[in-house]
Structure 1
Amino acid sequence: MMNRMPRSILSRLAVVFFMAAFAMPALAESTVDGSKSQRIEVAFVLDVNGSMSDLIDGAKRKIWSIVNTIIDINPEADIRIALITYRDWGAGSYEINSVDMTEDVQGLYSKLVKFGDRERPKSFNQALDRSVQELEWTKGKNAKRIAFLVGDAPFQTDDPNDPPYPQVLKRAQDEKITFNTVQVGENPDTAKLWQKIAQMGQGHYFTIPQDGGRVTVIETPLDHDILVLQQMIDKTIIPYGSSLKQAELRTKLETKAKAPASVQVDNSRYYSKKGGSKEAITGGGDLVADVKNGVRKLDLIKDFDLPENLRGKSIDEKQVFLDQQSQKRGKLEIAMTELIKERDIYLADQATTQPRKENDTQSLDKVVTETLRDQLK
């Protein structure tokens, strides 16, 4: 627990609050026209056999780094992520597990953190088919649709109940879904099949070590201040709605706070740099952001769906309280933007003085970010 605010944070906030005193008293509403934003959808079809446990752990730590790559390419992008897992147990024993296309990256991260608490059998062909047929891919030219198949072993392809994978990939091609493959380990049979799938899916084929590759943790002198500032921003979040919805939001906040420091910093960078309507946590359920962004009208929210400190108050009193929280958050977000900019500059300078070594091994986040940079041009 942070008991004292760092002096650098105090200095930054003093400047921000001074500038805000001469600004308009009400924070401006977002003017981004969502219909003009490019939608970028990325699905992961992931083998969850026991041999993949190290890679799964690395994926948990790097999900924010991956979505930050998209933000760097297009800050105004409307990002949606999906996850489908599979595991072949043989004898027709399988079950499909998936998280459909969602803008709630924080919610997806929370599910990834809990992932592995229990193992479920999966069928590859069924999972591949679901990734094309059942995920809610956006139609139209203003959407980019990219999928990654990640696994370490070939699968049974002779089950008459499963759709043939060439047929699935033909449908993906018709739907303009690009399929990339990431082979984990060095199984030669997997290599042949993954290369074929990537070719049919008009994507790229990569290989990474069995452990998923080294997870690079990047630390900077600015990270501590970013974490402290993010704690202050998170305190302005007000859960509302049913008791279940409020509990879900609090769970996401708890998961976020328990994440490794490097993950939290990547998380803060995403929220700071993402364009469009501002939010402190994805997935909705924050009264401050939802009212400010026009998602909900304050006068239509029932008292029993509000936190106790707002129940029984007049609409004007409620609005004054929300405006205060919104303005406080806005000032903190300005300070965060400056911190993130400084961190990006620091990392860029470090990259020029410490170039990548030729023998650096590939990792899941590296091949995914390289592919996204190429395919989102």
Structure 2
Amino acid sequence: MRVLRSAAAVLFLSAGMLLPGLINQFAFANEAPAASAERPVLDLAFLIDTTGSMGGEIEMVKKKTKDLVAKLASGKPAPVVRVGLVAYRDRGDDYVTKVFPFSDDIDKVVKDITALNAAGGGDTPEAVNQGLHVALNDLEWTKNKKASKLLFLIGDAAPHIYPNDFNWETEAKNAISRGIQINTIGCDGLDSSGTTVFEKIAKLSDGSFETLAYRQEIVNSEGKKETLITSGGSTYRVRAGAESSWKAGAKDLAAKGLAIAAPAPAATMAKRSHSSRGTVFYPAAMPMSADAMEGGVRGASLGYSASYGGVNRGDSNLDDVMLNAARSKLKKDASIIYTK
């Protein structure tokens, strides 16, 4: 009996010594998954010119935002994506800036921005300076130091310079000091002065500058369909067999020999000016498009705004430009892997 009692005492003491260790191990095992389950965060903001000529690009942002977020969230590990938007026009328009706060409820974001439309403008330069300041300071960017922060500036006009206005150079430097990268996207009609400013904003904030490519399908003099892309004021003919690759952009396709310089459609060489109704061409001697031959205009069939002078502003590679840039940012910052 004494032996049994001694053995029981030893077991009790051993259990008392081992139990805290087992409890600690169990607790640690439960903490590890919680730590590893912390998801990367991306604050993704659009700063978009909403004056008259920007109808096609505005519609694409509205229609493609949900799909863009879904593709970004498909990475491993899957990031949390918050989306915000600042619309800007110019002084004298219905508004100078309009803010749509960050949210991870993408359905709400899409619903909020559905009412955006293209209007106003009148002259070429717009309130880019004020738009930048508002996007960087009125949107509530995450304070998470590990988060990725990306702002897309999308427009077709240089900054309007006003006395005592904000300064794009100062704003770009402020952005990168707070870990916010600005990628600038030049739309059809952005002139050389605007291009220079957009390039410098991107460079100062560790971002990149892209000119959009716009697709137009035409029927040539031999009755055959051809795909043209217009980018940065130049027009290219996509080689047969490479039509599905047009969203890679003119620069990339030309470098690979898949696109060659071509004469611009007649209307794109005509006189152009900005107005409250958008970009207007005189005269509008447009070539017959392939879609028109088949009974419809491609832009209308997609639900996007009409084209101006042969350049269909609703049929661009804006969605691919934004997706590739955002994925690149997440891969660099959070080692996120995308398989498709």
TM-score, normalised relative to structure 2? 0.54
Aligned residue among 154, 159, 165 for 2:158: 154
Q: Deviations over 1:269-308 (max 9, x none)?
A: xxxxxxxxxxxxxxxxxxxxxxxxxxxxxxxxxxxxxxxx
1:180 aligned residue: 183
1-structure distance, mates of 2:198, 2:118? 28
Q: Secondary structure at the match of 2:74?
A: helix
Deviation at 1:188, TM superposition (A): 1.6
What is the CA distance between 1:137 and its match in structure 2? 0.8
1:76-155 counterparts in 2 under 5 A? 76-89=78-91, 94-116=95-117, 123-155=127-159
2:67 maps to: 65
1:53 maps to which of 52, 55, 58: 55
Percent of matched pairs sharing the same residue: 25
- 1:68-94 Cα offsets, whole Å, 9 max, x none, are 23112245322100000101145x985
Paired residues of 1:149 and 1:181 also in contact (CA < 8 A)? yes
**Structure 1 unaligned spans of 5+:** 1-30, 215-352
CA contact (8 A) 2:64 2:319 kept: yes
Q: Is the 2:99–2:139 Cα contact (8 Å) retained in structure 1?
A: no
- Mapping for residues 204-219 of structure 1, pairs under 5 Å: 204-209=208-213
What is the correspondence of 1:319-334 to structure 2 with a 5 Å cutoff? Answer: none
Does the CA-based 8 Å contact 1:42-1:146 persist in structure 2? Answer: yes
Q: Which residue of 2 aligns with 1:164?
A: 167
Local SS of the residue matching 1:190: helix
3-state DSSP of counterpart to 1:145: strand
Supply the distance in 2 between the matched residues of 1:67 and 1:213 (Cα, whole angstroms).
24
Task: Give the strand-richer structure, 1 or 2.
Answer: 2
More helix by share: 1
How far is the alpha carbon of 1:36 from its aligned partner? 1.6
Give me the whole-angstrom Cα distance separating, in 2, the residues matched to 1:34 and 1:157.
49
1:82 counterpart SS class? strand
* Separation in 2, partners of 1:159, 1:67: 39
Distance 1:96 1:174 in 2: 23
Cα distance change of structure 1 residues 129 and 34 upon mapping to structure 2, 3 Å threshold: farther
Q: How far off its partner does 1:130 sit?
A: 1.3
Match of 2:324, SS? helix
Task: Name the SS of the counterpart of 2:193 in structure 1.
Answer: helix
Judge conservation of contact 1:43–1:146 (CA < 8 Å) in 2.
yes
**What's the counterpart of residue 41 of structure 1?**
43
8 A Cα contact 1:147 1:178, kept in partner:
yes
The alpha carbon displacement at 1:354 in A equals: 9.4
Contact 2:153 2:182 in 1 (8 A): yes
**Could you tell me how far apart the structure 1 residues matched to 2:139 and 2:202 are?**
20
Structure 1 Cα separation of the partners of residues 75 and 316 of structure 2: 21
Equivalences, count: 205
Distance 1:123 1:143 in 2: 29
Amino acid of the structure 2 residue aligned with 1:78: V
The amino acid of 2:327's aligned partner reads R
Counterparts of 1:290-301 in structure 2 under 5 Å?
none
- By how many angstroms is 1:118 displaced? 7.4
**Partner SS for 1:114:** coil
Q: TM-score, normalised by structure 1?
A: 0.49
Moved over 6 A (4+): 31-35, 117-122
Give the Cα–Cα distance (whole angstroms) in 2 for the partners of residues 113 and 194 of structure 1. Answer: 26
Structure with bigger gyration radius:
2
